[in-house]
Structure formats: C-alpha cells, structure tokens
A and B are shown apart, each in its own frame.
Chain A
Amino acid sequence: MTGRQPFSAIVGLGFSEFSRGDIGTPRDLAIDAVVSAVEDCGLGLADLDGLLICRSPSAPSSELPLRLRLDLGLGDLNLLGDFQIEGASVVGAIQQASLYLHHGLARTVACVFSDVPLRPGKASGAASYNRVMQLSGLDDWEVQYGLFGAAGPYALAAQRYLDRFGLQRSALGGYAVASRRWASLNPRAMLREPLDLEGYMHARSIVDPFCMLDCAYPVNGAIAVILTTVARAPDLPKPPVYVHAFAQGHAGRGSFRGNEPEIEAGGALAAAALWRMAGVGPSDVQSAQIYDAFSYVGLQALEDYGLCPRGQAPDFVHDGQTSPGGQLPVNTGGGHLSGFYLQGMTPVSEAVIQARGEGGARQVPRNELILVTGSGGRLDYHAALLVSPRATL
C-alpha cells in the first residue's frame, strides 16, 4: 500500500426515474440525474465547474449535446466534454475528472450518463441494439452475415472461451443466477424474482450460447455522479468515496492467428496498471462492480483481473463466491443482467452505494477496496477504478 493521497472523491450520486416506458428524452433524464446528484451532496448547480457527458455508442451525440450545460444553467466551466470510449465512457470520464481535480484544474465536476434505448416500436433489447458491429475491421462486411446487435459478437467470444476450457452453455448460467440473487435485494433492480440454473436453462435462446438471461436488461434512465477535490470532500454531507487508482487497457491486436482477443482482453492490461498505481493486488479487492452487459463479460473480467484463475470463473461464481455471503461480492445491485443496463453507471453507482454503506439488505461486509470496471466495443475498450471510503489505502 502506498499511503498516497487519492486523486478525487465522489461526493454526490443522483438517479432519474427508471422505466421501460416513455419517461422523457435522454436530455430530460440527464437533467433530472444531475440535479438529483447535486442535491445529494448538498451543493447547488452553481457550484459545478465541470460537466462530462456520456452516452450510449448507439445514440447520436445530438441527443445529449454540450448545451446540456446551458439547460442546467451552469456558470463558467473549467472542464466540459462529450466523453466517448463506448462502454468504458463513464469510468473514463471519472478518470478525466479526477485528473483535473487532482491538478487543481477543476473543483467540482458532474459526470452524467443518460440513455433511452426503449422507444415506441423498439420495445425490446433486440430492436434497440440491432446495429451491426464491425468485428473483422472491413467496413460494413458483417452486414451480409447478419451479425446484428452486440449479443452476436459477444456470443462468438463466449463460444471460444467455452470451447477452450471444455465447458457447456450451462457454465454461463451461474453468473446470471448470482446476479439475480443480488438483484432480489436491490429495490432499484428491474428483475428481482428468484432464478435458478434450471430456470436459466429454459430461458429463450437469443444467439447461442446466449439466452436472454445472459444479456443486459435495458432501461430508460440516467445517473450522475459529482466529484470534487480530496480537500473539500469531507466537508460535504455524504461519506466521500475516494478514487485511489485508475487505468485503461485497450488490447492492440487485430484478430490474427496466435492471439485470443475473445479471452485475453484489455482488462488484463488495465489490471496490471491499476495494481501498480495503487500498490495493491487482486487479493486486496473486497468487492467488484463490473461492466457485465453479457454474462461472459463478467466472467471474463474476473479472470482478467486475476480475481480467480483463467478458465475457473464459472466454477468460482457457481460456488457462490460472488453471491451474497460469498468471499468476493460482485455486482451487488444485480449488474446489467438483473439490475439495469445503464452502461458504466451501473457499476459506478453501485460502488458508490456500497462504499458509503448505503447498501441496506445487500450491503457488503467489507467495502474498503472496490474495483469498478467499464468495457466497450467487443472487449475492445476497457477502463477501471479502485475506490474506497478510506482516504488512505
């Protein structure tokens, strides 16, 4: 442990309403979330001097314009941006804000993510996320093969993993079951009814090896966090959540003989940098809040971060190690599968709740070092944080 000062503190957390129905535009919901977050930390909108806006890569930037600052009536800003590294955006934005705060370039920064994937005529995840991902690198090549949505590209990754370690589709099911156990304890989670492995195996197939319970549960909503300097944080009403370390990792390998981008992804690069920066290791992590838009992404991250050995995440999770009462609570709000899919804000908001000790029935017993990850593309982009309620690790 380094004893070094943290970079910043998360002091405010705000939610819009969540719904599968029409509750407003992304811009409406972003405004709700920022106002709620500012009120949560006992500040006013006039106290903000930074705003970083994050959106889904499938949503146009015009839906969440930089003019959001004017909507909110903000004053002169020292930091502003539309921060885009796909699913890693929110964690990346918190990193950017933390650097500004650490160097005295900003004083109080809001980071907001807002998304309205479910609209009239697009009432399902498949209808909302049917863009064709460019997997090979040849422009628009995948369209003729019907590689629609994110589920297909991630299913290709999961299938490669299952084959390499001699596993069946059921190996993914334990992850969905563990997510649901946590979600049942989270009033904000969208899917809370009990789920067992048998129920998982009977769920509708989407893209083998994925059934619908392997896929994120989309919701319309927004979440914002407020960050400020380490010096100012203790004066605010909510317990500060200190940002101690951060890193990114974007594996620079095209798909070519000899590499395994489906199994060894940027998370492993980020992990190495994160441990180096914080002077800690995987065994020091007490809880993990992982970007898990698909079951396999969660399992893969557990392995990339060395929280369990390569190839063993399905057993680790199936044995209950990540479930309520387990040694390493993971995605304690239900994550993307059973909680809600608001991309990077799902793990970030849950980390803040747990670090503050506001988890209620799902509060983890040990919250002093929480790993938070963000992941985008098809395991192409990755960013991570280490947060703690303690000012020194």
Chain B
Amino acid sequence: MTPHSSYTPEFLRFVAAGSLCYARCSACGQVLSFAQRLCSQHPHAALEWLPASGKARLHSFAVYRIAYGPGQTPPYTVAVVELEEGPRLTSALTGPDRLHPRIGSALTARFEPSGRLVFSAVSDATMLNPPSHSD
C-alpha cells in the first residue's frame, strides 16, 4: 500500500525527471484521479505509475487580470486540463492563444526550462513531448 504522504513526492519525482505520470491500481487497473491516494475497491493494492501521453484537452481556464500573490505577472492563464488517460490536472496555458483559448481544444504537455509542466494548444506547440512520455 502506498502511504498517503508519498503520493505527491512520487509524482513530483517523475516531474523532476521530465516525465508526466499518473497512477493506477495494480489490482484492477483503474486510473486514479490526482486527488485519490488509493483505489477504494483495492485499498491494499500498490499503485503503478505510468507515463502519460502528454495529450490533453482543455477542461476549463481562468485568466488572472490582477496580481494576487508573488511569482506571476498578469495576465496569465490557469488551466484545468484533462489528460488523455482521464485524470485532470491544474496547469498553466502557454502559447499565442493562452488568453483566449477554446474549452475542449487539444493540448500537449511540455516542460519549461525551469522544469515547470505547462500545456499549449497542439497547433502552438513548439516542443513536442520527450519520447520518455510514451515509453
């Protein structure tokens, strides 16, 4: 059983290595949402971490027009993206259409030089996923 406290660090270890991963139940294969820490049908089963394809759809977005806190210069777009595999994730939307995106549009993941995971419209993508994403 994966302890609750190791879930986010595990996810972040993959991110630090340039890979976007998601967890599924090793017993039944059910993909977990990022809010879950175990499969409620198999609470003792280990989680398997698998690389995501990096393909996603825009579930929703919000454009910040004022600076609430440090580290961001408005306007900037926070997105909820739905990974091809099912789970949804909060991220940033980048690219020319970032302030006027279309919900449902196809996105692709990439890592900024800082290591931050971001998404942009497929047509805007200048850097495709590193192959490790679909290994």
A residues with CB within 8 A of B: 126, 130, 132, 135-149, 151-153, 155-157, 159-160, 163, 204-209, 253-258, 262
Q: Are B63 and A147 in contact (CB under 8 A)?
A: no
Tell me the chain B residues, 80-135 only, with Cβ under 8 Å from chain A: 80, 82, 86-92, 103-104, 116
Q: Are B80 and A146 in contact (CB under 8 A)?
A: no
Task: Give the number of A-B contacts (CB < 8 Å).
Answer: 120
Instruction: Identify A137's interface contact among B34, B66, B68, CB under 8 A.
Output: B34
Is B69 among interface residues, defined by CB-CB distance under 8 A? yes
Q: Which residues of B contact A136 (CB under 8 A)?
A: 34-35, 80, 88-90
Contact with A along B53-83 (1 / 0, CB 8 A): 0000001111111101101100010101010
B residues with CB within 8 A of A: 7-8, 11-12, 31-36, 59-66, 68-69, 71-72, 76, 78, 80, 82, 86-92, 103-104, 116
Whole-angstrom CA separation of A256 from B78 in the bound complex: 18
Q: List 24 A-B contacts (CB under 8 A).
A: A130-B68, A130-B69, A135-B90, A137-B36, A138-B7, A141-B34, A141-B89, A141-B90, A145-B91, A146-B64, A146-B71, A148-B69, A149-B69, A153-B62, A159-B61, A204-B65, A207-B66, A254-B34, A254-B36, A255-B34, A255-B87, A255-B88, A257-B86, A258-B86
Q: Are B103 and A146 in contact (CB under 8 A)?
A: no
Residue among B60, B87, B104 with most chain A CB within 10 A: B60
In the complex where A138-B11, A254-B36 touch, is A149 in contact with B68 (Cβ < 8 A)? yes
* A-B contact sample (7 more), CB < 8 A, given A141-B89, A152-B68: A137-B35, A142-B90, A148-B68, A148-B72, A149-B69, A256-B86, A257-B86
Q: Which residues of A contact B92 (CB under 8 A)?
A: 144-146
Q: Which residues of A contact B87 (CB under 8 A)?
A: 254-257
Instruction: Identify B63's interface contact among A149, A207, A262, CB under 8 A.
Output: A207
Residue among A138, A142, A151 with most chain B CB within 10 A: A138
Q: Are B64 and A207 in contact (CB under 8 A)?
A: yes
Residue among A148, A149, A255, A262 with most chain B CB within 10 A: A255
* Nearest chain A residue, comparing its CB with the CB of B4: A139
Q: Which residues of A contact B104 (CB under 8 A)?
A: 163
- Least distance between A322 CB and chain B CB atoms (Å): 26
Whole-angstrom CA separation of A274 from B68 in the bound complex: 38
Q: Which residues of B contact A160 (CB under 8 A)?
A: 59-60, 80, 103
Whole-angstrom CA separation of A273 from B131 in the bound complex: 50
- Least distance between B23 CB and chain A CB atoms (Å): 11
Whole-angstrom CA separation of A82 from B33 in the bound complex: 31
Q: Are B33 and A146 in contact (CB under 8 A)?
A: no
- Least distance between A169 CB and chain B CB atoms (Å): 11
In the complex where A144-B116, A146-B64 touch, is A257 in contact with B35 (Cβ < 8 A)? no
Q: Are B8 and A139 in contact (CB under 8 A)?
A: yes
Whole-angstrom CA separation of A144 from B72 in the bound complex: 9
Q: Which residues of A contact B34 (CB under 8 A)?
A: 136-138, 141, 254-255
